[in-house]
Structure 1
Amino acid sequence: MQSRPIVSVLICTRNRADELVHALRSVLSNRHTAFEVVVIDQSDDHATRDVVRSCHAEADGRVSLRHVPTDTRGLSLARNLAIAQARGEIIAFTDDDCTVGEDWVENIATLFTDDPDLYMVYGQVWMPEEYKNRDEII
């Protein structure tokens, strides 16, 4: 079996440190070890930086976690910056208000390792039960 490729998990955020902490902890809890996390921070304050520092300490050096502040605004621009910062062979985006399962990174790496012709994957989004209708989501 081939060795697992490095996965770059990219998260773009702006003024959502309270949500980001949950997203980061879920990503960092993944069992896969060949990955990095890059947080592109468009925030107006230092709360996001503080969250990344806190989570970096929790990662215990097992995963590379980088905080990249920017004055650039806009999700598309932030994602382009994130891709430019990525060191991995595989790019995985998640949002600052999402949590992922502990096998999420491993599953992504496996899909790309098992199928060399694969270029893109996506997953289903599960909404919390408290959202009863679309008007509450948007």
Structure 2
Amino acid sequence: MSNEAKYFPSISVIVPIYNGETDLPQLIECILKQTYPKQLSEYLLVDNNSSDRTPIILKEVQQTVSETGINLRHLTEKEIQSSYAARNLGIRQAKGEILVFTDADCRPQPNWLEQIVQPFNNSQIGIIVGEVVALCGNTLLEKYADRNQVMSQKFLLQHPFYPYGQTANIAIRKEAFVKVGLFRPHLTTGGDADICWRIQKETSWQLAYAPTAIIEHRHRSNLKNFRSQFRRYGSSNRYLHELHGVDLMRELTPQEVFYRISRWLLKELPTDSLKAIARKTPWIDLIKTPIDLIGFQARTQGQQESKLPEAARKIEWL
């Protein structure tokens, strides 16, 4: 498709950042490589009360990048420790017609912005979800997450309530926030589903998928962070249940866990070992079931132990 045939609305890219000094250099490099017209785009990097060198780096980057013609601004959200509060500050400051969201630990491909806005040429589309793929990793958990597409957006598009996308790679019309309000600033997880569902429930706008708008994301490399990720998914289940009435995840009984482990030891492991030796399946498939169960247990724990704070019900407005 030629540039003349493409759709180029004004956009604002909003990135919440907390202690992001390790990720910022690569994120900035990806921003500099974006093919989207500079005069139609701005980048709002919102520091959420970081305790590392993030504020210093952002100040330096703002001065340096401005010389390239790229409009990059450094904002600070100190009142509420929440990525959603940081995003809300970005939304309030944004000048673009379309607001595009990602995170500091994400690596957008050069044509990311160009690709994610194209479905907005249809006035019935209010939300566009891009794809999230794995950055190359060496640990078993990173290989597991890559093999099983743990963060792929296509699974979220199949949610039985309404489809949604993660804020790691999503674009929303700014007008939608005028109609339904901003992110819930005191919510700690699940805010991406919440905003997508509110827009689809309360307006006539629809959600579209842009599979060629690709973000690379670093998966969790150790068991502690892996379990934390899935506990957060469980907390999200609980919060969205209380906010929208969606079904909670069904929990496995001890008998079902025992059956899964027995089946893995007696059937899956011997079969997959032979396939791996014959190079018909990756070696990581041999431990898929126990890792699945670890993630499921952590998600169950998060769902059982979490309770939606009353303040998280609050919606802020433009």
**Residue number among 87, 98, 103 corresponding to 2:106 in the alignment:** 98
Larger radius of gyration: 2
- 2:61 is matched with which residue? 55
Deviations 1:3-59 (A, max 9, x none): 721110000011112202211220232121211000110133462233223433135
Return 27-36 or 94-103, whichever deviates more: 27-36
Given the alignment of the two structures, is residue 38 of structure 1 paired with residue 41 of structure 2, yes or no?
A: no
Secondary structure in structure 1 of the residue aligned to 2:129? coil
Structure (1/2) with the larger helix percentage: 2
Matches within 5 A, 1:8-87: 8-32=12-36, 33=38, 34-45=40-51, 47-56=53-62, 57-71=64-78, 72-87=80-95
Structure 2 letter corresponding to 1:91:
L
TM-score of the two chains, using structure 1 as the length reference: 0.85
RMSD of the TM alignment (CA)?
2.3
Deviations 1:98-121 (A, max 9, x none): 010111111223332x22221111
Secondary structure in structure 2 of the residue aligned to 1:52? helix
Q: State the alpha-carbon separation in 2 of the partners of residues 15 and 69 from structure 1.
A: 13
**Number of aligned residues:** 137
Q: State the alpha-carbon separation in 1 of the partners of residues 90 and 18 from structure 2.
A: 14
TM-score of the two chains, using structure 2 as the length reference: 0.39
Q: State the alpha-carbon separation in 1 of the partners of residues 135 and 102 from structure 2.
A: 17
Given the alignment of the two structures, is residue 108 of structure 1 paired with residue 116 of structure 2, yes or no?
A: yes
Deviations 1:49-96 (A, max 9, x none): 332234331352422111111212111211111111111000100100
- 2:130 is matched with which residue? 123
Structure 1 letter corresponding to 2:98:
I
Structure 2 letter corresponding to 1:132:
K
Query: Closer, same or farther in 2 for the Cα pair 1:46/1:15, shift >3 Å?
Result: closer
Q: State the alpha-carbon separation in 2 of the partners of residues 79 and 116 from structure 1.
A: 24
Are 2:117 and 2:128, in contact at CA under 8 Å, matched by a contact in 1? no
**Residue number among 91, 97, 102 corresponding to 1:89 in the alignment:** 97
Secondary structure in structure 2 of the residue aligned to 1:4? coil
Greater relative contact order (Cα 8 A, min sep 6): structure 1 or 2? 1
Q: State the alpha-carbon separation in 2 of the partners of residues 3 and 84 from structure 1.
A: 24
**Residue number among 123, 133, 136 corresponding to 2:144 in the alignment:** 133
Q: State the alpha-carbon separation in 2 of the partners of residues 124 and 4 from structure 1.
A: 20
